[in-house]
Amino acid sequence: MQALQFKQAVIRALHDAQLQTALDRGTTRGVNHRLAAMSATTDAAALRHQARLARERALNQLPALLEQLERNVLANGGHVLWARDGDELNRLVLELCQKHAVRRVVKGKSMVTEESELNHALAQAGIEVVESDLGEYIIQLAGERPSHIIAPMLHKTKEATAELLHRKLGMPLTDRPEEMVRFVRGVMRTKYLEADMGISGVNFAIAETGTIATVENEGNNRLSTSAPRVHVAVMGIEKVIATWEDYAILVQLLARSATGQQLSVYNNLMTGPRRPDEPDGPDHFYLIILDNGRGRIYQTEYAESLACIRCGACLNACPVYQNIGGHAYGWVYPGPIGSIITPLLRGLTQAPSLPFASSLCGACQSACPVEIAIPDMLLKLRRDLVQSAGNASLGWRLAMLLWRLGMTSPLLYRLGAALAGALTRLLAGRSGTIRQLPPPLNGWTYSRDFPAFSKGTFRERYRRRAQHAALRSHDHEPATSQRTRP
């Protein structure tokens, strides 16, 4: 997404009253839930550090763990496929649909399939695909994209949701979320039972037993992975972890950070297809491992971003996200972590505005359960952008040159300050404020006045204060020393 598009998307978001209401209601609750859960944890700081260590160890051994995972999935009777990019992922899923004569698919929540736009590819091939997570289903009905990693319809108010369900499916209008949930539950039941294939994401893949773990509250993921005869799980390469002890830590931190629960309602651990003597479960299990730019990140100083466990805490905490919502970020992953991984996965020139969509206040890093240094990486990306492209305009580069000259020469700085002061006072006249600055500075006065600089500069004031202070402390000195005398 280019700079202009991003700016326009932000302006649209800020003027969207429905979105602003939804964001206020949603992100505030999200932040409060997490804070309550973390403060109830015996030792939150130690827990986060343990989780961080688990992710670091996993990433250090990434290629070996992926091979171990593959060996164990095969030993459990499952299959493993590899996809270099989103197109390859979609092709593999379509091949599996063909092989197993699949006409209907139910999907549990999966962010990687959003990367590849799998739903679109399946629909093109004439395969019915239904999202089963309540939020994802409503988004799919609306023809929209998720705006939050774990709360996909955070941008929608309950009123807009009711209206949509009424218009598309004939639900009687209501403003009670309970009734909407009950209605969708009824619609989805038959979808699970009719589906030939269930597709799910993966929260953690445990290499030592070849198990994939999903985390959810609704039960849609369990149904999607248990009812159809084929289960296809899709994961990014970074999801693999070494041991069950690591899982125990990470899964508890994920729940606390994402929704403020001690554990999510359902933690589903899937180890291969149904065994011959088991009464239910899928007959076939496939794991597709997707790279899609992650291997490239792994080789750079941004490898730390692969430690992310997709809890969404940094989104809720971010003042920018709280105001513009997820869609303005333009791709699958919004918020602070999205501002890092979107440019990294898609290429810096594809999202040059995102590293700047942050005040660097650090709320994201404080919220992150695996202590990812998000502000640092945003700064580094800004540096990369400046270095990589001559994409700054001539005017901008000229302005920065003058700025550098002025800021490194005391003489020029003094002259500049005096000149700016005089100029603003001239423009302001008697009122002391400027209603409209001349271009290119008029953006500032678009919605507010600009106060003229005061007569004394900061440096002059500072010098006067310092002199005062020196005089006063000189006065007091004898008294003080007297008192300390024995």
Q: Per CB under 8 A, which of residues 155..174 are in contact with other proteins?
A: 156-158, 161
Site for other proteins in 62-91 (CB under 8 A): 62-63, 66-67, 76, 79, 81-84, 88
Query: Peptide bond preceding 282: is omega within 30 degrees of 0, i.e. cis?
Result: no
Number of residues that bind other proteins (CB under 8 A): 106
Taking the least distance from each CB to other proteins, the nearer of 221 and 424 is: 221
Site for other proteins in 203-232 (CB under 8 A): 208-209, 211, 217-220, 222-223, 226-227
What whole-number distance in Å separates Cα of residue 207 and Cα of residue 62?
10
238-270 burial: b if 16+ Cβ within 10 Å, else e: bbbbbeeebbebbbbbbbbbbbbeeebeebbeb
Decide: is 484 part of the binding site for other proteins (CB under 8 A): no
What whole-number distance in Å separates Cα of residue 346 and Cα of residue 112?
13
Decide: is 346 part of the binding site for other proteins (CB under 8 A): no
Q: Using CB under 8 A, which of the segments 47-55, 115-123, 386-394, 402-410 binds other proteins?
A: 47-55
Decide: is 200 part of the binding site for other proteins (CB under 8 A): no
Taking the least distance from each CB to other proteins, the nearer of 57 and 414 is: 57
In the block, tokens 């898609």 appear at 346
Tell me the closest approach of the beta carbon of residue 340 to other proteins, in angstroms. Answer: 15
Q: Are the CB atoms for 81 and 288 separated by under 8 Å? A: yes
Taking the least distance from each CB to other proteins, the nearer of 41 and 433 is: 41
Site map (CB under 8 A) of other proteins, residues 89-128, x = contact: ---x------------------------------------
Q: Are the CB atoms for 83 and 291 separated by under 8 Å? A: yes
- HSE (side-chain half, CA atoms, 13 Å) at 219: 5
Tokens, residue 421 = 């002061």
Site map (CB under 8 A) of other proteins, residues 229-258, x = contact: --------x------xxxxxx-xxx-----
Tell me the closest approach of the beta carbon of residue 132 to other proteins, in angstroms. Answer: 7
What whole-number distance in Å separates Cα of residue 235 and Cα of residue 287?
8
Taking the least distance from each CB to other proteins, the nearer of 244 and 413 is: 244
**Antiparallel, parallel or unpaired: β 266-270 and 211-216:** antiparallel
Taking the least distance from each CB to other proteins, the nearer of 122 and 253 is: 253
Contacts of 192 (CB under 8 A, 6+ apart): 106, 132, 223, 224, 227, 228
Taking the least distance from each CB to other proteins, the nearer of 136 and 328 is: 136
Tell me the closest approach of the beta carbon of residue 474 to other proteins, in angstroms. Answer: 52
Tell me the closest approach of the beta carbon of residue 346 to other proteins, in angstroms. Answer: 18
What whole-number distance in Å separates Cα of residue 76 and Cα of residue 372?
34
